[in-house]
Amino acid sequence: MVHKERALLAGVNLNNDDDYEKSMDELENLAEACGFEVAGRVEQNLRSVSSAFYFGAGKVEETAELVEAMEADVVIFDNELTPTQQRNLEKALGCRVLDRTQLILEIFAQRARTKEARLQVEVARLQYMLPRLAGKGASMDRQGGGGIGTVVRGGGEKKIVLDRRRIEQNIAVLRKELEDLRKDREIQRKRRSESGLPRVALVGYTNAGKSTVMNALVELSQKSDSKKVFEKDMLFATLETSVRSIELPDNRSFLLSDTVGFVSKLPHGLVKAFRSTLEEVKESDLLLHVVDASDPEAERQIRVTEDTLEQIGAGDIPVIYVFNKADLTDMAYPFEKDNVIYISAKERIGIRELAELIRRYVFRAYVDCRMLIPYEYGNIVSYFRENALVKDIKYESDGTWLKLECSESDYRRYRQFVTEK
């Protein structure tokens, strides 16, 4: 049996914050997702935090007693600690101290499966550690492991300077690798853009069921498991963007991308590190904002997601709100009104209705037209078969006659073939 480290959760409720309890509950979920066994909580109401210990002095002593009584291996704070606070707390409590940022970084490190995701997490981790070198030396060998917050006592100011230089050099190397991967991704994105297919992105709070929604739409389109994405009932199951072509029943197609889930107090360094991954969201024609309809915190999670979308410059893109996991609620579903739909992706109920709603949104700018395409341009006919709604086709003496609906961009591109007949 694998031994789990025991964690004591610590929080400060500043000025009776209405979201405090929700944030602490989420911290517990994050700790469990990271593999910790939660031993208990220690909390304090304050108007302002202590610059030296975050907690007040008396609460620090109480926490030290709880650490010993509960045999806790680590204390995890709900907010980001300053380097000074973290050092003082570790000395006073006699155990490892993590903050919410470190915890999320650790989860991301565990979940990262692709080279790009691993590099992005490592950059964020190193940037987090830079200001925390004072009084500590850090083993920064990328192959050395050790996880977030693993440190050894340093050997003076000279070693700190050397460690800082080494970290900065590592960050520069990693960023160069990421830039090369970003260029490759940009080439792929450009090719997808040239296809003329509308782009739809799944966004939402972590564990809302985005990957399950994607797989349900892939299943509706492909009837195959070969293009499904990884899905699991856990926080941050998806860190990398997956893009799939979805074909609707009327033969129209669009590109659907699955993205990393959001969470409250998502570290800015991680948002910045995952910038290239989130580019898929910024360049989308439509967002599917997936919400866990069964979660009592759904409204707060919607706000967090919308705030993050604003932060990355995607706040003005049209949105369909997909309330997933309706099978865990008492309401009737599938239910649809305006840009809101209730479904159960797991039960595959409401998926056809969702596909139809997507169709109405992304293809409403399509042009109804007729074209006569000379036989030497057979590749254009093939293109329209794949990327437009061909309603009728005839083979005339001077070319292939098509009655179709196509995107405005394709209409402009091939306007020379438009005919009134």
Q: How far apart are CA 72 and CA 35, in angstroms?
A: 14
Alpha helices (H) in 264-377, listed in sequence order:
268-273, 275-282, 298-311, 351-362
CA angle 202, 263, 141 (to 5 degrees): 100
Cis amide leading into 334 (omega within 30)? yes
Topology agreement, domain 6-106 and domain 195-362:
yes
What are the CA-CA distances from residue 181 to residues 162, 178, 190, 256, 309 (Å)?
A: 29, 5, 14, 21, 23
Q: Which tokens sit at 33?
A: 């997702």
What 3-state DSSP class applies to 100? helix
Residue 5's pLDDT is 94
Q: How far apart are CA 57 and CA 217, in angstroms?
A: 55
Q: How far apart are CA 83 and CA 60, in angstroms?
A: 17
Q: Determine how many CB atoms are found less than 10 A away from the CB of residue 373.
A: 22
Q: List the pLDDT tens digit at each of the 421 positions of the chain.
A: 567 899 999 999 998 888 899 899 999 989 998 999 999 999 999 999 999 999 998 999 999 999 999 999 999 999 999 999 999 999 999 999 999 999 988 888 887 777 887 888 898 889 888 888 754 544 444 434 444 444 444 445 677 778 888 999 999 999 899 888 878 877 776 765 666 678 899 999 988 999 899 999 999 886 444 465 544 444 444 445 678 888 888 777 888 988 877 888 777 777 766 665 677 788 888 999 999 999 999 999 999 899 989 988 889 999 999 999 999 999 999 999 999 999 999 999 999 999 999 999 988 878 899 999 999 999 999 999 887 888 899 999 999 999 998 888 889 899 999 997 5
Q: Does domain 6-106 have CATH number 3.50.50.60?
A: no
Residue 198's pLDDT is 85
Residue with tokens 């061909």: 390
* HSE toward the beta carbon, residue 246, CA cutoff 13 A: 29
Which of 59, 83, 71 is closest to 149 using CA atoms?
83
What are the CA-CA distances from residue 149 to residues 16, 95, 125, 252 (Å)?
A: 30, 12, 9, 50
Cβ neighbors of 189 (< 8 A, separation 6 or more) are 279, 280, 283
DSSP track, 364-417: TT-EEEEEEE-GGGHHHHHHHHHHSEEEEEEEETTEEEEEEEE-HHHHHHTGGG
* HSE toward the beta carbon, residue 409, CA cutoff 13 A: 8
Q: How far apart are CA 80 and CA 105, in angstroms?
A: 12
Question: In this structure, are strands 6-14 and 136-137 parallel, antiparallel, or unpaired?
Answer: unpaired
In terms of Cβ atoms closer than 10 Å to its own Cβ (0-12, 13-18, 19+), residue 182 is middle
> What kind and span of H or E run contains 319?
strand 319-324
Q: Which tokens sit at 394?
A: 């005839």
Domain boundaries, the chain: 6-106, 115-185, 195-362, 367-417
Residue 151's pLDDT is 41
CA angle 38, 298, 220 (to 5 degrees): 105
**Through-space distance between the first and last CA atoms of the chain, rounded to whole angstroms:** 75
Residue 227's pLDDT is 60
Which of 184, 11, 138 is closest to 81 using CA atoms?
11
Q: Does domain 195-362 have CATH number 3.40.50.300?
A: yes
Give φ, ψ of 60 to 5 degrees.
Answer: -65, -45
Contact 20, 13 (CB under 8 A): yes
Residue 144: alpha-carbon gap to chain centroid? 27
Residue 273's pLDDT is 62
Residue 134's pLDDT is 59
Cβ neighbors of 332 (< 8 A, separation 6 or more) are none
State the Rg of the chain over Cα: 26
Residue with tokens 């969201």: 281
Bridge partners (DSSP) of residue 394 are: 401
